[in-house]
Amino acid sequence: MDQIKVFLNEDEMPRQWYNIAADFPHAMPPPLAPNGKPLTPDMLAPVFPMNLIEQEVSTQRWIDIPDEVLQILWQWRPSPLCRATRLEKALGTPAKIFYKNEGVSAPGSHKPNTAVPQAYYNKVFGIKRLSTETGAGQWGSSLAMACQMFGLECKVYMVKISFDQKPFRKIMMQTWGAQCIASPSNETNAGRDILAKDPDCPGSLAIAISEAIEDCVTHKDTRYALGSVLNHVLLHQTIIGLEAKKQFDKIGLYPDVVIGCAGGGSNFAGLSFPFMADKIAGTKNPRIIAVEPAACPKMTRGIFTYDSGDVAMMTPLLPMYSLGHTYVPAPIHAGGLRYHGMAPLVSHAMREGLMEAVAIPQLECYRAAMLFSQTEGFIPAPETSHAIAMTIREANRAKEEGKEKVIVMNWSGHGIMDLSGYQAYLDGKLTDYHLPDSEILKAGECLKDLPKPPPLQ
């Protein structure tokens, strides 16, 4: 019988995170202050605790995971690496398909991998309260749980379209003791400004981030927590790929293709960076593919530029692939992928030629999610369905080429709280959004006066 599921013993578990910034062939452009001047760590101090800022700017290759954090992560880690044999059979592919199931955490996604350490580092730094934004609600609920575990208060600004589509996520956050409100809200200047212009604004992550940062800088003992994009977030997620490498070692395989969906880039980076390290070292050469929604195609149709992480331009300027911070993506169900920019570390990996990006429209993703659910059982989050759709494309290619490839995808989360999207799909109400070039050009206008990063050197 084929081995279906690979576990690790406690003594095999990763106890350090992997920092790819130590290994890139070329230097990354530095982040800039909102005014375009060089950014210094102390400028971030009103927003993040210094222990996390140190990780944000670190170029040390391995960073120890604190025992207090491991103790919580080990409740559900290692996440299973499973072989999707029934999916393989349904596709008639010679490829071996594996998925790393991050849906087994309590909130149901990879997000607690960073929510737990972020809450921990804030706690030991003496912070009492965290503010944040959330798209589909996976991040808000993960941070709510982590804050509860470390005795911190938590306030979540949830993108309005998701707040309306996914009421159960809000209830999860409240169950874990957090406060959750729809964004744009009347509670911040940033929110009030948007509502004055557009009372029916569906919201975006860039708007919700502005609100959460404003909340943070106007409340004492409060810091802000971000669920993706930043270096320290991607660092924390590398536990996924470090486990996966050991799991593959145990069964004597190595993936030819590594796939992850990409919103801000954290789950994709979490699985892929430890494999990318082998690619940089020249010991292995897997294809590494990030999958974005066709409705928010920052890597495939955006530009590499300095851009702000939020609409009110309160964050530093980050060197990244972006559609522009004013871009409000179509209301696709994969709320976690509706972000205008891509993590600087992932953007840099793209420039280094270490990876590829592909954009896939919503309907193909739902078809893939249906096939996955009907073969493997687990119902994926709409975000995850993008990775599944790409995996199916690659498995079909392997069939055409008659090649026995090993494919691994990050199964970033379950979709049990996202069933209204499935309902819309089953009722035939879902559509693909065709994004004309003119809209991308219009969104990009906000980038005109921002500084441009230097060429790779």
381 lies in the site for ligand PLP, by CB under 6 A? yes
| 412 phi-psi bin (left φ>0, alpha ψ -120 to 50, beta other) | alpha
Q: With respect to ligand PLP, which residue has the nearer C-beta, 96 or 302?
A: 302
297 lies in the site for ligand PLP, by CB under 6 A? no
349 lies in the site for ligand PLP, by CB under 6 A? no
| Tokens, residue 364 | 């193909």
Dump strand ranges (E) for 2-144.
5-6, 16-18, 62-64, 81-83, 96-101, 129-134
Q: What letter does residue 415 receive in the DSSP assignment?
A: -
341 lies in the site for ligand PLP, by CB under 6 A? no
Q: Give which of 322, 290, 285 is closest to 389, Cα–Cα.
A: 290
Q: With respect to ligand PLP, which residue has the nearer C-beta, 96 or 274?
A: 274
Q: With respect to ligand PLP, which residue has the nearer C-beta, 328 or 398?
A: 328
Task: Please choose, out of 46-54, 210-218, 266-274, 433-441, the segment that lies near ligand PLP by the rule CB under 6 A.
Answer: 266-274
340 lies in the site for ligand PLP, by CB under 6 A? no
134 lies in the site for ligand PLP, by CB under 6 A? no
336 lies in the site for ligand PLP, by CB under 6 A? yes
Question: Which listed residue (31, 264, 302, 341) binds ligand PLP by CB under 6 A?
Answer: 264
Dump strand ranges (E) for 14-102.
16-18, 62-64, 81-83, 96-101
Q: With respect to ligand PLP, which residue has the nearer C-beta, 52 or 398?
A: 52
**Closest residue to ligand PLP using C-beta atoms:** 413
Task: Please choose, out of 18-26, 218-226, 309-317, 381-389, the segment that lies near ligand PLP by the rule CB under 6 A.
Answer: 381-389
337 lies in the site for ligand PLP, by CB under 6 A? yes
Task: Please choose, out of 17-25, 151-159, 377-385, 432-440, the segment that lies near ligand PLP by the rule CB under 6 A.
Answer: 377-385
Site residues (CB under 6 A) for ligand PLP, limited to 409-448: 412-413
User: Cα separation of 291 and 389, whole Å?
Assistant: 9
User: Cα separation of 313 and 307, whole Å?
Assistant: 9
138 lies in the site for ligand PLP, by CB under 6 A? yes
Q: With respect to ligand PLP, which residue has the nearer C-beta, 138 or 326?
A: 138
109 lies in the site for ligand PLP, by CB under 6 A? yes
180 lies in the site for ligand PLP, by CB under 6 A? no
> Residue 98 in contact with residue 120, Cβ under 8 Å?
no
111 lies in the site for ligand PLP, by CB under 6 A? yes
**How many residues sit close enough to ligand PLP to count as binding (CB under 6 A)?**
21
Give the three-state DSSP class for 344. Answer: helix
Report the nearest approach of ligand PLP to the CB of residue 388 (Å).
Answer: 11
Q: With respect to ligand PLP, which residue has the nearer C-beta, 122 or 384?
A: 384
Cβ-in-10-Å burial (0-12, 13-18, 19+) of 177 comes to: middle
| Tokens, residue 51 | 């222990």
362 lies in the site for ligand PLP, by CB under 6 A? no
Residue 17's CB: how many other CB atoms inside 10 A? Answer: 25
Q: With respect to ligand PLP, which residue has the nearer C-beta, 21 or 398?
A: 21
Q: Give which of 76, 141, 66 is closest to 104, Cα–Cα.
A: 76
Q: Which residues does 37 contact at the CB level (< 8 Å), separation at least 6?
A: none
Question: Which listed residue (79, 141, 272, 384) binds ligand PLP by CB under 6 A?
Answer: 384
93 lies in the site for ligand PLP, by CB under 6 A? no
Report the nearest approach of ligand PLP to the CB of residue 138 (Å).
Answer: 3
CA–CA distances in Å: residue 169 to residues 185, 214, 216: 18, 23, 22
Q: With respect to ligand PLP, which residue has the nearer C-beta, 365 or 435?
A: 365
385 lies in the site for ligand PLP, by CB under 6 A? no
User: Cα separation of 147 and 134, whole Å?
Assistant: 15
> Residue 184 in contact with residue 191, Cβ under 8 Å?
yes
Q: Give which of 271, 291, 257 is closest to 394, Cα–Cα.
A: 257
| Tokens, residue 446 | 């906000």
User: Cα separation of 272 and 91, whole Å?
Assistant: 25
Question: Which listed residue (113, 266, 322, 385) binds ligand PLP by CB under 6 A?
Answer: 266
Report the nearest approach of ligand PLP to the CB of residue 102 (Å).
Answer: 7
| Tokens, residue 191 | 């929110």
User: Cα separation of 412 and 134, whole Å?
Assistant: 16
Site residues (CB under 6 A) for ligand PLP, limited to 212-231: 228
User: Cα separation of 122 and 111, whole Å?
Assistant: 17
262 lies in the site for ligand PLP, by CB under 6 A? yes
The overall longest dimension of the chain from CA atoms, in Å, is 63
Please count the residues of the chain: 457
Report the nearest approach of ligand PLP to the CB of residue 57 (Å).
Answer: 20
236 lies in the site for ligand PLP, by CB under 6 A? no
Summarize as ranges the residues that interact with ligand PLP (CB under 6 A). 109, 111, 136, 138-139, 228, 261-268, 336-337, 381, 383-384, 412-413
